Structure 1
Amino acid sequence: MTAAAALSDAPDSDGPDGERAVRELTEQRVRHALGPVRIVGGRALHGGLYNAARLVELADGRRLVLKAAPPGDAPSLGHEHGLLGTETLFHRLAAATGAPVPAVLHHEPAGPDNPGEWLLLDYLDGSTWDELREELTPEQRGPLRRSLGETAARIATATGPHYGYPQPVPGLRGETWQAAFAGMLRTVLADAARFDVPLPAPAAVLTGLPERFAAALAEVRRPALVHFDAWEGNIVLTRDPDGSHGAGGTWRLGGLIDGERAFFGDPLAELVGLDPLGAPEDDPDLMAGYRSITPELTTTTPGARARLALYRIYLALVMRVESAPRRYAPDHTAWLLSWSAERVAEQLAVLDPLAD
């Protein structure tokens, strides 16, 4: 195993040689970005499904995250190219809007002298919302959901140079949102064929959705920045030391992480990414937070309802197809196949009465 592959796979228990290679490559990259700093600790960070991540502790007290792309020959979906470049762009654009995200310290694209793309970020102290789900009370969740809605709205104020994914991958960009979304949908359907994942509906029905709902997609006239993966596992909560909430304080939104799935498109798509299994547009706390920044957002017109259904279909397809290259456990794969089939059927039924 090469050092680059070792860091991508984050093998904490891969034996002394593998761990030594990880430490050496980590030190090399951090010093390349920051100069002659001293690393005093570190460990693999688990939970990501594509890029590897490692916590890096410096002698001066700083804690950083080093992310590394998988080897170039690793199986991936059609849009999974240069994802750390996408994450870099997302965090920089989101930070400019005032949204809480990690600071980008250095991004090194893959190239002749660097076969493995990597990214160095500040570490956000706290715990993910997903980790704290059972601990949070309804009284705590309401303000957090409002803060999340406000953050999503701030992110959407950033405007991209085109529609679609940031990286220059053929077929994944467009001059209009309809063109870009059609390309994104075609790409994941091609991924399904490439990885031999059965579709939950006829390919012709799915491929034809962007044209069938062209008028609804044409309502999007600005390529807004969309995280599209801001589920609870990518939301960091931190303790607010405000004494009014007791000795331990209460939880507040510390930031959004893992912006590698971002694209430029419809702000409504963010609502789908916030909760792939639910319907965040029905959450009064979340929507109150969102509309405190963007009061004109609508989710109830025929066009908006059609677009929400389209994005739910797209995300369900991505989650369904990625089970093959990710090699999920059989029980999780079976659940994904069943859930995504139900989700797509449900959303096609939503779309039928909304057709032009």
Structure 2
Amino acid sequence: MSAAAMSAAAVTAAAVTDGAEQERVERCVRQVLGAVRVTGGRALHGGLYNSARLVELADGRRLVLKAAPPADAPALTHEQGLLGTETLFHRLAAPTGAPVPAVLHHEPAGPENSGEWLLLGYLDGATWDELRNELTPEHRAALRRELGAAAARIATATGPRFGYPQPVPGLQGTDWPEAFTGMLQAVLADAARFDVPLPAPADTLAGLPERFAEALADVRRPALVHFDAWEGNLVVTRDPEGGPRLGGLIDGERAFFGDPLAELVGLDPLGTPEGDPDLMAGYRSVTPALATDSPSARARLALYRIYLALVMRVESAPRGYAPDHTAWLLSWSADRVTEQLAVLAALDR
């Protein structure tokens, strides 16, 4: 085949793909909104599991259509029905006053629908991560206060039980020690399944919930936790004077019901946000009594940092990250786990 013919074939294949995608988008949107006209849209990048697409309608509305990967795509144990989890998160968070997208429709996978999808309202703005170099220290401090208040509001929502909301065996519990034990055991099993080396002996890691069961038992209410509200999942908009404001928290697909302190770990996986005075001032403007420096709180924060580091480490295998990023992630997560095990050892003397 000539180069010209190969190029023409590629264009034709792309057109067929684009046409099928456009038909799918229009079918989903019309199922929810009726006879509306889709006039444009584009893929939204940044998500690592579900795909997302901006959808523009003739009446000026903009929406987000999210779709789950194929059911046989490699995934961690807790990565099942994540769009259902995101739906639940947004619906529970919205009444608390936290800024989140409106849920228009969630369609689970089923006999007449091969793929799970979710239709959301679109939040105008750009992600905090995208605007990083434009934010002054004053802007960042104000945004951190807003973020702290939003995190506290989210934590006022209460779930029916502890753990992940999707019905995956072993990921829930009647109390937080039981649920967290199951969550940690699942990611350790995922490490074995995907042949990802652990940064500490498996027995040591698996025994942490029992070793610190008393601290975990201090959590008596299954609070809603986003657990992935890092700066790439925060939308920043502009106030009437042009200053940046927190426009919303997106991608609530990693949410679970558990300890409000876990939210602090998810807000900044690489740092220690409980030491950020602006973030904590915002949080305590809603929930003044949050304790972060008691032995119990410090133990739980260390446990959640270990858990998140393991999740980030193990997911590198099914995600197929670039070699450089995988190497950094393996090195960082090993250091993080070692650091937090030392914190726990000091508390356990």
Identify whether the pair has TM-score above 0.5, normalized to the shorter chain. Answer: yes
Partner SS, residue 106 of structure 1: strand
Distance 2:137 2:12 in 1: 39
Distance 2:109 2:326 in 1: 31
Cα distance, 1:265 vs. partner? 0.1
Aligned to 1:36: 35
Distance 1:301 1:317 in 2: 24
Describe the shift of the 1:172–1:23 C-alpha distance in structure 2 as closer, same or farther (beyond 3 A): same
Distance 1:176 1:165 in 2: 12
Aligned to 2:6: none
Cα distance, 1:33 vs. partner? 1.1
Q: Give 1:82's aligned amino acid.
A: G
**Is residue 223 of structure 2 the alignment partner of residue 230 of structure 1?**
no
Aligned to 1:6: none
Cα distance, 1:115 vs. partner? 1.5
Cα distance, 1:280 vs. partner? 0.3
Distance 1:84 1:14 in 2: 29
Aligned to 2:275: 282
Moved over 4 A (4+): none
Cα distance, 1:13 vs. partner? 11
Aligned to 2:94: 95
Aligned to 2:339: 346
Distance 1:143 1:257 in 2: 19
Aligned to 2:7: none
Q: Give 2:334's aligned amino acid.
A: A
Aligned to 1:20: 19
Note the alpha carbon deviations across 1:132-162, whole angstroms, 9 max, x for none. Answer: 1111001111111000000000000000000
What is the Cα-based RMSD across aligned positions, in Å?
A: 1.1
Cα distance, 1:21 vs. partner? 0.7
Cα distance, 1:91 vs. partner? 0.2
Contact 1:13 1:19 in 2 (8 A): no
Aligned to 1:108: 107
What are the residue-to-residue correspondences of 1:225-304 with 2, within 5 Å? 225-242=224-241, 249-304=242-297
What are the residue-to-residue correspondences of 1:1-356 with 2, within 5 Å? 15-242=14-241, 249-355=242-348
Distance 2:26 2:318 in 1: 30
Partner SS, residue 41 of structure 1: strand
Cα distance, 1:355 vs. partner? 2.1
Q: Give 1:228's aligned amino acid.
A: F
Q: Give 2:218's aligned amino acid.
A: E
Length-normalised TM-score, structure 2: 0.96
Distance 2:87 2:118 in 1: 8
Q: Give 2:346's aligned amino acid.
A: P
Describe the shift of the 1:14–1:270 C-alpha distance in structure 2 as closer, same or farther (beyond 3 A): farther
Identity of aligned pairs, percent?
79
Describe the shift of the 1:319–1:13 C-alpha distance in structure 2 as closer, same or farther (beyond 3 A): farther
Length-normalised TM-score, structure 1: 0.94
Partner SS, residue 130 of structure 1: coil
Cα distance, 1:353 vs. partner? 1.8
Describe the shift of the 1:13–1:336 C-alpha distance in structure 2 as closer, same or farther (beyond 3 A): farther
Contact 1:46 1:53 in 2 (8 A): yes
Distance 2:12 2:345 in 1: 52
Q: Give 1:21's aligned amino acid.
A: A
Structure 2: gaps (5+ residues): 1-10
Partner SS, residue 109 of structure 2: coil
Distance 1:131 1:180 in 2: 35
Distance 2:270 2:181 in 1: 23
